[in-house]
Amino acid sequence: MTEESPRGPRVGIKGPLTFSAFFGVVAFFGVLIFASGGTGHGLRFDLAFTAGGIAFIVCLVVAAMLSMTYKENAEHLGKGSGVNLRSADRKGHGAGHEGARADGGAGAAPGDAGGEETDDGESRA
């Protein structure tokens, strides 16, 4: 069972730290190798430490922001009340309900004079 804090479930720190450290080390070695400019030059540890630190911090901030936005789904969302309903289960929609007209919905509604209204408010037949 997880401990609950006042703001929600506790999220472990080991995962984001490992993730960030991995990308920091990858950036460190990548810059260390490729920033030297060939075998005739020395290794650039200054650039490698800078790139590794930046990669570590950026990955850690992104992981922290993603963990802060985590929220459980509401309980009613798992009950099949979403968009994947069958049309036969919905009442009052589509051609399968009592109020549907036999002509498929074309023509005037009951109580309508049968004409359409123009832009100036007059009725045409």
* Pair of tokens at residue 71: 């929220």
Residue type, 66: L
Residue 48 pLDDT greater than 90, yes or no: yes
Amino acid 39: pLDDT = 80
Amino acid 10: pLDDT = 60
Which H or E run contains 65? helix 45-68
- Supply the pTM of this predicted model: 0.51
Highest mean pLDDT range out of 2-6, 52-56, 97-101, 114-118? 52-56
Which H or E run contains 117? strand 116-117
Amino acid 41: pLDDT = 84
Q: Give pLDDT tens digits for 3-29.
A: 555 555 566 788 889 999 999 999 999
Distance, CA of 63 to CA of 92 (rounded, Å): 46
Residue 24 contacts residue 50 (beta carbons within 8 Å): no
Burial class for 32, CB neighbours closer than 10 Å (0-12, 13-18, 19+): middle
Amino acid 73: pLDDT = 76
- Number of C-beta neighbours around residue 117 at 10 A: 10
